[in-house]
Chains A and B, each alone.
Chain A
Amino acid sequence: MLKALQIEPEKCTGCLQCEMACSFHADGVFNPSKSRIKIFTFHDEGRFVPYTCTQCSEAWCMHACPVEAIVLNEKTGAKEVLADVCVGCKVCTIACPFGTVNYDQTSKIAYKCDLCGGAPECAKACPTGAITYVDADHTGLARMRGHAAKSANMSAGA
């Protein structure tokens, strides 16, 4: 069964545990500035929104790469950057409509979420359940359950 990251922004508190877990897994240091998942704060609205690669089936980045450095991991469905093939041309960063592929000045190659090989650290670190790793066909299940509970309440209260 293929799994996917399920993100529920309404649960997020903006603590950045996920960003640290991500950067720690990838680079061995706690460094939110190098995280593949990003939390965006909309202060005036009181909203925190985690955002990362959704691993498109027909991935723009993968198709755009001129040296075929971005490949599909059949097991996880992730599109992964092959560090030794990537030439750092940044075409993928332009191709991705969501901005989730970025260039790293230090390593001089592109980097993106690779689902940590099938055990995403961000989901493990998140204290609120805003990021979970679930059946890829059912990332809407938790929200459906929430609404189902509400409608059940309504009829019970009627």
Chain B
Amino acid sequence: MSWTKKVLRINLSNGRISSEPLRMDWAGEYLGQRGLATKYLTEEIDPKCDALGPENKLIMTTGPLTGTMAATGGRYSIVTKSPLTGCVACSNSGGFLGAEMKSAGWDMIIFEGKAPKPVFLYLENETAVLVPADEIWGTSCWHADEWIHRKYQDPLLRIAVVGRSAEKGCLYAAVVNDLHRAAGRSGVGTVMASKNLKAVAIRGTRGVGNVRDISAFMAAVNKGKKVLADNAVTGQGLPKYGTQVMMNVINEIGAMPTRNMREVQFEGSNNISGEAMHEPRKSDGKPNLVTNAGCFACTIACGRISTIDRGHFSISNKPHYWGASGGLEYEAAWALGSDIGVDDLDALTYANFLCNEDGYDPISFGSTLAAAMELYEMGVITKKQTGGVELKFGSAEALSWAAEVTAKGEGFGLELGLGSKRLCEKYGHPELSMTVKGQEFPAYDPRGIQGMGLAYATSNRGACHLRGYTVASEVLGVPVKTDPLVTEGKADLVKAFQDATAAVDSTGLCVFTTFAWTMEDIAPQVDAACEGGWSTEKMLETGERIWNLEREFNLAAGITAKDDTLPPRLLKEAAKTGPAKGMVNNLHEMLPKYYEIRGWTKDGVPSKDTRKRLGLNASGLAG
């Protein structure tokens, strides 16, 4: 069965801690992690509630394969209502915390209410205690992590924590676990901080067992490991270059958003690419990349462990940053690099360290900074706001400064912490915000990859590459190559990716496996581990159910078809260079077809038949 079948419920308002059985009837329909926690959230909160109020809940959730030997089986997610978008938020993270939570005996932890004073949760197997966190409130994730480890003198504690940005209300604050892995997007860290919950520290020694058919499971797991090892992307590209393997590829096809998405190719991309991270530096002859690293159970190991040149201006007098830590992934390198026109690898790595140290999403941060830089160029934001700093595209100094003030939530950092949508509205130029539903774009320009336009517009958590990564098909040819410049067939493609991803995100596995694995590789692992007959078909239907439930949550929250759109820049301003030169994103050619194949009305609402077919009847949605 692999689920522990136990949920830990923590009411932060009154300190009540209780254990309850997992709703197995729901697990049969929503599997685990993303799907199952979304079901709980939809049943338990009003989608219209204030995301930062005590009525919102925050769910930490594992999947049935979390904590097992299935390759990448270490993931957990945080599901809550997002303060950035007002949509359902589901942010997925690797590292080691998820497996530890499972090994402590819990599928899920549901946090409710708001603690009267800062606390952290200490969880050792069945023992859960809320501990005063006054001494670490107001400190960074890294500091709090070290403090908790020292307090318990236990190097094996796994810790998830929010930083100062979250405490100061940055709307895209992350929850950082294991120092450099993060549930990064949609402001799940902001919600955690709003509950006065600083950290969750877990030690689990029970292990994960209860696998339905262990010999079938181990056979499926070993087969899966072999597929990953033999695949060029998961066996070679990702271990060697990380997700940064994409940088030069995407730049070449003219889909690299640059300078707040004004352009689609970045002249400096080579300097901040995965390849560049391997180049020896002039100063000390060492490369930026120290080693690759795996999350729990991961046989891919895409993680980057990097150092910054000690002579670099950003850290030359700060020994605190001289050691190795989590390095640039593609999305971060893009947001902290091309989107603000900076190609100084050390400055990017420094900003990335700060994102980890104080827990905020580098994508949203970089994109918000890009909008601020455009506003500065226009003279709308001036040195008055920045306290004298020249907020120019291409300035590594501006990046370092902006990352510092956002980390601490100081001065202009508070404005950057609002996110691009609110910042641009505040300064009277909402059209400059490169967001969907209030969330900033990731690193694929939908003018050069048409299907991604539809994926962004319809993503249930706002602009996001991880909700339907048609890049795999449109650029890499996985599972089949489609033309990135046409819209034909993209509605079907987007739906297929969205449903499959929703299912994968509910297993405990990493979505990066799907560069090599299809559902035919994943379903047998789930099925061997869990009761319920998890065939490929059932997995895909579950994915579709999850997608529709998320949609229902958003509709009930007041987010509708009119929000399924892209910023005018991407719909009206044509790409200036590259293969997509002269093109905009033709969303209008795809969206109606998409609604139709989803079984939604013209207004983007799941039809009665669709609801019935998928059994959508969450009580939180009534009325």
Taking the closest CB of chain A, its distance from the CB of B203, in whole angstroms, is: 8
Contact residues in B for A28 (Cβ distance below 8 Å): 209, 214
CB within 8 Å of B: which of A1-49? 13-17, 20-21, 23-24, 27-34, 43-48
Taking the closest CB of chain A, its distance from the CB of B133, in whole angstroms, is: 23
CB within 8 Å of A: which of B83-131? 96, 99, 103
Taking the closest CB of chain A, its distance from the CB of B141, in whole angstroms, is: 13
8 nearest A-B pairs in the assembled complex, by CB-CB distance: A31-B207, A44-B323, A46-B290, A15-B294, A29-B207, A46-B324, A127-B299, A29-B209
Taking the closest CB of chain B, its distance from the CB of A32, in whole angstroms, is: 7
Q: With A13-B294, A43-B179 in contact, do A30 and B69 touch (Cβ < 8 Å)?
A: yes
> Which of A16, A28, A125 has the largest number of chain B CB atoms within 10 A?
A16
A-B contact pairs, 5 of them (CB 8 A): A13-B293, A14-B294, A15-B299, A30-B67, A32-B103
Contact residues in A for B71 (Cβ distance below 8 Å): 17, 127
Q: With A30-B207, A127-B229 in contact, do A20 and B323 touch (Cβ < 8 Å)?
A: no
Q: Is the CB of A31 within 8 A of B296?
A: no
A-contact 0/1 string along B297-330, CB 8 Å cutoff: 1110101011100000000000000011100000
Chain A residue nearest to B298 in the complex (CB) = A15
Q: With A31-B205, A33-B204 in contact, do A24 and B69 touch (Cβ < 8 Å)?
A: yes
Contact residues in B for A14 (Cβ distance below 8 Å): 293-294
A128: interface (CB < 8 Å): yes
Chain A residue nearest to B299 in the complex (CB) = A127
Kindly identify which residue among B103, B297, B307 contacts A31, using a CB–CB cutoff of 8 Å.
B103
Q: Is the CB of A47 within 8 A of B291?
A: yes
Contact residues in B for A23 (Cβ distance below 8 Å): 207
> What residues of chain B have their CB less than 8 Å away from a CB belonging to chain A?
67-69, 71, 96, 99, 103, 156, 179, 204-209, 214, 225, 229, 239, 290-299, 301, 303, 305-307, 323-325
Q: Is the CB of A43 within 8 A of B209?
A: no
Q: With A13-B293, A46-B290 in contact, do A29 and B301 touch (Cβ < 8 Å)?
A: no
> Which of A14, A15, A47 has the largest number of chain B CB atoms within 10 A?
A15
Taking the closest CB of chain A, its distance from the CB of B408, in whole angstroms, is: 23
Contact residues in A for B292 (Cβ distance below 8 Å): 13
Q: Is the CB of B323 within 8 A of A43?
A: yes
In angstroms, Cα B296 to Cα A48, docked, is: 13
Q: Is the CB of A46 within 8 A of B305?
A: yes
Q: Is the CB of A45 within 8 A of B324?
A: yes
Q: Is the CB of B205 within 8 A of A17?
A: no
In angstroms, Cα B229 to Cα A70, docked, is: 39
Contact residues in B for A128 (Cβ distance below 8 Å): 301
Contact residues in A for B99 (Cβ distance below 8 Å): 32
Q: Is the CB of B205 within 8 A of A34?
A: yes
In angstroms, Cα B156 to Cα A15, docked, is: 15
In angstroms, Cα B214 to Cα A27, docked, is: 13
Chain B residue nearest to A42 in the complex (CB) = B324
Chain A residue nearest to B96 in the complex (CB) = A16
Q: Is the CB of A127 within 8 A of B68?
A: no
Known: A13-B294, A33-B156. 14 other contacts (CB 8 A): A13-B292, A14-B293, A15-B296, A16-B294, A27-B207, A28-B214, A30-B207, A31-B103, A31-B207, A33-B204, A33-B205, A44-B324, A125-B69, A128-B301
Kindly identify which residue among A33, A125, A127 contacts B207, using a CB–CB cutoff of 8 Å.
A33
Contact residues in A for B297 (Cβ distance below 8 Å): 15-17, 20
In angstroms, Cα B290 to Cα A32, docked, is: 25
Chain B residue nearest to A21 in the complex (CB) = B69
In angstroms, Cα B478 to Cα A62, docked, is: 55
Contact residues in B for A20 (Cβ distance below 8 Å): 68-69, 297
B-contact 0/1 string along A127-149, CB 8 Å cutoff: 11000000000000000000000
> Which of A13, A24, A27 has the largest number of chain B CB atoms within 10 A?
A13
Taking the closest CB of chain A, its distance from the CB of B466, in whole angstroms, is: 21
> Which of B99, B204, B214, B297 has the largest number of chain A CB atoms within 10 A?
B297
Contact residues in B for A32 (Cβ distance below 8 Å): 99, 103
In angstroms, Cα B69 to Cα A32, docked, is: 11
In angstroms, Cα B67 to Cα A120, docked, is: 21
Kindly identify which residue among B103, B225, B305, B307 contacts A127, using a CB–CB cutoff of 8 Å.
B225
In angstroms, Cα B297 to Cα A23, docked, is: 13
Contact residues in A for B290 (Cβ distance below 8 Å): 45-46
Q: Is the CB of B293 within 8 A of A17?
A: no
Chain A residue nearest to B306 in the complex (CB) = A46
Chain B residue nearest to A35 in the complex (CB) = B207
Contact residues in A for B208 (Cβ distance below 8 Å): 29-31
In angstroms, Cα B214 to Cα A123, docked, is: 20
Taking the closest CB of chain B, its distance from the CB of A24, in whole angstroms, is: 7
Contact residues in A for B214 (Cβ distance below 8 Å): 28
